[in-house]
Structure formats: structure tokens, C-alpha cells
Amino acid sequence: MKKEDTVKLISAEGFEFVISKEAAMVSQTIRNMLTSPGGFAETEHGEVTFPEISTTILEKICQYFYWSLQYSRGKETDFHIEPELTLELMMAANYLHT
């Protein structure tokens, strides 16, 4: 995959997740950051830092992006969420509009 087609998402602890742009665009917030004309550093470097989102939650978010893409293409599987992650994940999802 070419570098232009990927984005780097960085968690509060500094862990980096490199995922495809298409997957990241599942989030309306990230889509806005990456597509808004000029100004945002995110647009140029393809990097987004989330100081509020922990590594565990960001990993789950990335999994969700890929699951969501597959689901929209007709692969109907369940997305399992551990009950102990629900609150934090809910807040992150709310922030990311996903």
C-alpha cells in the first residue's frame, strides 16, 4: 500500500496505528480533518494524534473501521465489544462520529 493511501493514528500513550485512508474515513471527524482544504497539519502529513484516546480504545476503533467497511460490503458479522470497554469506546465513537 502506498504511503498516500494510509493514515497514522496516534494514541494518548504515543502508539501509532497505520491504517488505510478508506478505513479511517469511516469516521466523519477524521474524514473532515483529512479532506478539509489547507490549514490542517493532518492533511499534509497523514497523521492524527488523539491525546484523549488510550491505546486499547484506539485499537478497538481501528478494528471497528475495518469491520464497518466489510459490513457495508455485505459481510454480516457481529462486532464484539467487551463490556468493560463500552464507556470509553462510546465516548471515543461519539467524538469521532463513527
Q: How far is CA 53 from CA 35, 71, 75, in A?
A: 22, 24, 28
By CB under 8 A, residue 15 contacts another protein: no
Q: How far is CA 41 from CA 14, 45, 48, 81, in A?
A: 17, 6, 9, 32
Which of 62, 38, 37 has the alpha carbon at shortest distance from 50? 62
By CB under 8 A, residue 86 contacts another protein: yes
Phi then psi dihedrals of residue 8, to 5 deg: -110, 120
By CB under 8 A, residue 94 contacts another protein: yes
Q: At its nearest, how many Å lie between another protein and the CB of residue 85?
A: 8
By CB under 8 A, residue 90 contacts another protein: yes
By CB under 8 A, residue 53 contacts another protein: no
Considering only the stretches 7-15, 17-25, 34-42, 78-86, report the one whose residues sit in contact with another protein under the rule CB under 8 A. Answer: 78-86
Considering only the stretches 2-10, 12-20, 41-49, 81-89, report the one whose residues sit in contact with another protein under the rule CB under 8 A. Answer: 81-89
